[in-house]
A = this chain, B = another copy of it.
Amino acid sequence: MTRNTRQRTVIRQVFEEANRPLGAPEVLDAAQASVNGLGIATVYRTIKSLVEDQWLVPVELPGVPPRYELAGKGHHHHFHCKGCGKVYELEGCVDNLKRLVPAGFEVTGHDVTLSGLCLACASAA
């Protein structure tokens, strides 16, 4: 079964401490501080395994590589900062969405992504 390797432990910690969705390169950067020689392939493999375990869920945003966040957070959406590229969780949702689709279309999901500048980038600008 799954072993508790140093790499896997550190990668989980990185997600637990991030409080926001992370992409594979962000995970690599953060985890390399604790695991010398960590390779990007291990990051991808570990993320994949954690998604299969339903410990992580993928966060797909328009035009950027996927991020991943801890599972079990309930329905929410995201903010993508065009300054630093970081993705943040947003609480709440919108409604009346199904009214937008033509008759006969079957809606099974939706994504809402706001973009702009996060607090840090807006302050710096």
How many chain A residues sit at the interface, stated as a range, is 35 or more
Contact B114 A113 (CB under 8 A): no
Confirm or deny: A52 has a beta carbon within 8 angstroms of a beta carbon on chain B.
no
Chain B residue with minimal CB distance to A63? B60
A96 lies within 8 A of chain B by Cβ = yes
Copies in the complex: 2
Say yes or no: B92 contacts A94, CB within 8 Å.
no
Let me know if A104 and B82 touch, CB within 8 A.
Answer: no
Partner of A114, one of B88, B92, B100, B114: B100
Contacting residues of chain A (75-120) with chain B, CB-CB under 8 angstroms? 77, 79, 82, 88, 90-92, 94, 96-119
Find out whether the CB atom of B115 lies under 8 angstroms from the CB atom of A112: no
The reply to whether B122 and A105 contact each other, CB–CB distance below 8 Å, is yes
Whether the Cβ atoms of A101 and B113 lie closer than 8 Å is no
**Closest approach, in angstroms, between the C-beta of A62 and any C-beta of chain B?**
4
Contacts of A50 in B (CB 8 A): none
Check: A61 CB closer than 8 A to any chain B CB: yes
Interface residues of A (CB under 8 A from B): 58, 60-63, 66, 77, 79, 82, 88, 90-92, 94, 96-119, 122-123
